[in-house]
Amino acid sequence: MGQPVEVGALALRSAPWGLITNGHSWTDQEDRLTADWLKRVVAQNSMREHKCVRCAVYMAERLNRHIILLILGVCSLSITSPSGETRAIWWTPKLNLKDRSEIVMRLRTPFEGQITVAKNHASATVANCIDYLNYAQAGYKPQSDRELAVFRSSGIDCQALQILQRAVPARISYLDDFRLDQNAPNELPPQFAVTISPEELQSLTKARARGLSWQQYQPQLKTEIGQDSLTVIHGDARAVLEIYAKGDFNRDGIEDIMIREDTSLISGTYSTSHLFVLTREGKRGALRVLKEYE
């Protein structure tokens, strides 16, 4: 039997774990990374029953890198969504967007009122989403709490539009059964809890580390279901949630969901807004935060 043929270049242009191979020789460490990466992908995407993937896993356990890579190349062509179709990108009508080709125009659409922001001794005027994205990223903020609330509320739409601009249709979705109903706090992570004091933030950090859901973190939650929203109340804190968009926002093939949260204190003037990009990587389990914006 002749020498085995190197097929790494045929299956993978670069290693999916971020390591770029020099030349055609693989090290033992790259063997191990190949096996670990493949097992992780299979676990996250619930593809254990796919014959092609099962064969690759079998070879991964035996560290035969040449066959692993060849099978991966074939699998990439054969594994699709359960329905064999991609999922259409969806967004809320509140973004005032008929088609994604209008996003650039929407980003330039003037706000109802201009907002003055400052950083150190410099100041600027935010008149549209382009201004917001530039100055918010640079650390500029309004000086008053009232203007800061307006700044963040308007900015959520800007962030959503920018994320939507990069979205692609998903091949797989595990979000079909997710709804903003009374069960949602059992599936949402604790980051949705309103945190104001350092003590609350420290408690939230511990809840995240323990893998608790929002409901487990705050068992006394009360919910009110609206037409397109869910209001969650915990003590004096109120959070209003809306689904803003669905699509593959991080381009891993799995459908993600964008949820806007507007929070306030019932007996106070505090208010702010957040945007969460979440995903679920299996048919069951809590949603995981990919990115949080404010």
* pLDDT (tens digit per residue) in 248-274: 999 999 999 999 999 999 888 889 999
Highest mean pLDDT among 54-58, 71-75, 127-131, 198-202: 127-131
Confidence category of residue 41, pLDDT binned at 50, 70, 90? low
**pTM for the structure as a whole:** 0.71
Mean pLDDT confidence for 127-155: 94
Q: How far apart are CA 163 and CA 138, in angstroms?
A: 18
Q: Answer whether residue 75 shows pLDDT above 60.
A: no
pLDDT score, position 71: 58
pLDDT score, position 99: 93
DSSP assigned state of 229: -
pLDDT score, position 10: 35
Residue listed under structure tokens 């511990």: 206
Q: How far apart are CA 195 and CA 278, in angstroms?
A: 19
pLDDT score, position 269: 84
pLDDT score, position 8: 35
DSSP assignment of 106-133 equals HHHSPPSS-EEEEETTEEEEE-SHHHHH
pLDDT score, position 173: 94
Report percent pLDDT > 90 for the chain: 61
Mean pLDDT confidence for 231-251: 96
* pLDDT (tens digit per residue) in 168-185: 999 999 999 999 999 999
